[in-house]
Amino acid sequence: MTEIYKISYVVLGKEHPGAIKNSDHRPDIGERVKLGKDEFVVAEIFDLIPARGMFHYLHATLQTAEN
């Protein structure tokens, strides 16, 4: 069974509305995430609500990626 991670992303330190999207893996802290045209780094991640079946529900806070 394929696990699916539904993630709520909130961006810190920048005017950004945040995003919700599915991912095929649980992001790690420090991992780079692309939301549309912008790239960010995962600063915090936790389970928002308990998983149901193959769906996991996460929340991640992001910081602007520095090249």
Site for other proteins, rule CB under 8 A: 2, 4, 6, 8, 10, 17-22, 35-37, 48-49, 52-55, 57, 59
C-beta of 67: minimal distance to other proteins in Å? 21
> How many helices (H) does the chain have, and how many strands (E)?
0, 5
Q: What is the 3-state secondary structure (H, E, C) of 35-61?
A: ECCEEEEEEEEEEEEEEECCEEEEEEE
C-beta of 25: minimal distance to other proteins in Å? 13
Q: Which is nearer to other proteins, 30 or 36 (CB)?
A: 36
